[in-house]
Amino acid sequence: MTTALKPRRSALYMPGSNARALDKAKTLDVDCLILDLEDAVAPDAKALARDQVCEAVRAGGYGHRELVIRINGLDTAWGAEDLEAAIAARPDAILVPKVSSPADLQRVAHRLAVGNAPAALRLWAMMETPQAMLNAAAIGAAGRDPEVRLACFVMGTNDLAKETRARLTPGRAAMVPWLMTCVAAARAGGIDILDGVYNDFNDLDGFAAECAQGMDMGMDGKTLVHPKQIEPCNAAFSPSEAEIAWARKINEAFQAPENADKGAIQVDGRMVERLHAEMGRRVIAIADAIVARG
Ligand SMILES: CC(C)(COP(=O)(O)OP(=O)(O)OC[C@H]1O[C@@H](n2cnc3c(N)ncnc32)[C@H](O)[C@@H]1OP(=O)(O)O)[C@@H](O)C(=O)NCCC(=O)NCCSC(=O)C[C@H](O)C(=O)O
Ligand SMILES: [Mg+2]
C-alpha cells in the first residue's frame, strides 16, 4: 500500500517510563514521536511505561506529530499486553521490534483485525536482525498487502551491530549494503523508511554527516535519541530552496507548448527527462506538506 505523503523527517524515541519526556514532547518540533515500551525501558518499568504511554496517547495534545508506540516483541512477557493496550489507545502507528519475516507482521496485523483497530492505524517495522536483512524484500512486499497495513521501515542499527558484530564507524561502511537493501525493499513495497539513530548526541558534526548520508541513500528521515538532534535533522531532510526552485523550473519547462511532445529537453544546459519532472513534483509536494504541517 502506498502511504499518504507526510513528512517523516525526524522521529524521536523517548522512553515510555519517562513522564517528563512524554510531556516535553508536546513542545518539540518533531514530525514523529516513537513512544518506546521496548529497549529504552527496564523490565521493572514495563507496566508503568505501558500505562503512561497509552494514557498520553489517549489524552492527546501532540498536534501534528505522528504518534507511534513501539511495543515489545510478541515473544516476550510484555508483547501481547502491550499490543492490546496500544490498539485501545489508538496511536497513528504501532512499531513492531525485531521483525524477521512477513509472518511477524501478519501476526500483529491479525490482532489489529480481531481487536477492531481503526482503519487508519498503521504498522511500522524495525529492521534490525540479520534475518530481516536476508528477508528484506519479502518483508517490504507486505507493504502491498492492505491487510498488513505496513507503512514504514525503521532501521535499528544498534541491534544490527549487536547481532552481526559489525561496527558502527563514521561513514558506516559495514552497514551501507544493508541500509541500501532496505531502501530498495521499502520502495518496492511502496512504504517509507527511516534511518537508524546516532548515539553520540553531543557530536552534532558527526550527526550532520550521517543525516546527509541518509538523505543521499534515499531515506525519508532519521530516528533520533535526543531533542538537540531535531532541528539539524529537519533541516537535512527538508528540500532546499534551490531544489524546490529547480523542481518548479523543470516542471514549468515541460508544460511549455513547444515541449509537449518531448521526452527529454535541455534546461540550464542540462539534460532533463520527464522522470526528473516527476521527481521534482515529489520535492514540491514534500515542501508543501512541511509548510502545511505548521
Ligand atoms: C540519552 C538520554 C538518557 C539522555 O537524557 P538526559 O540525561 O535527560 O539528557 P539531557 O539532560 O541532555 O536532556 C535535556 C532535556 O531534554 C529532555 N530529553 C532528553 N532526551 C529526550 C527524549 N528522547 N525525548 C524527550 N525529551 C528528552 C530531558 O528530559 C531534558 O528535559 P528538561 O528536564 O526539560 O531539561 C535521553 O536522551 C534518552 O532517553 N533518549 C532516548 C533513548 C531511547 O529511547 N532509546 C531507545 C531507542 S534507540 C534504539 O533502540 C533504536 C533501535 O532499536 C536500534 O536497535 O538501533
Ligand atoms: Mg533495536
Whether this prediction's pTM lies above 0.90 is answered by yes
Our mutation pick for probing the ligand 1 site, out of 13, 198, 199, counting the most ligand atoms within 8 A of Cβ, is 13
Query: What pLDDT sits at residue 179?
Result: 98
* Every domain of the chain and the residues it spans: 10-236, 241-293
Question: Please, are residues 97 and 126 in contact by the beta-carbon 8 Å criterion?
Answer: yes
3-state secondary structure of 12: strand
Contact partners, residue 140, CB within 8 Å, separation at least 6:
153, 182, 184, 185, 186, 187, 188, 189, 191
Cβ of 156 closer than 6 Å to ligand 1, yes or no, is yes
Query: 161 CA to middle of ligand 2, Å?
Result: 10
Q: Is pLDDT at 164 greater than 70 in this prediction?
A: yes
Contact partners, residue 122, CB within 8 Å, separation at least 6:
3, 92, 93, 94, 149, 150, 151, 152
Question: Please, are residues 279 and 246 in contact by the beta-carbon 8 Å criterion?
Answer: no
- Mean pLDDT, range 242-252, rounded to an integer: 97
Q: Is pLDDT at 76 greater than 50 in this prediction?
A: yes
The CATH number of the structural domain formed by 10-236 is 3.20.20.60
Cβ of 13 closer than 6 Å to ligand 1, yes or no, is yes
Q: Is pLDDT at 3 greater than 60 in this prediction?
A: no
pLDDT in tens, 107-146: 999 999 999 999 999 999 999 999 999 999 999 999 999 9
pLDDT in tens, 7-58: 999 999 999 999 999 999 999 999 999 999 999 999 999 999 999 999 999 9
Q: Is pLDDT at 230 greater than 50 in this prediction?
A: yes
**ipTM above threshold 0.95:** yes
CB atoms within 10 A of CB 209: 15
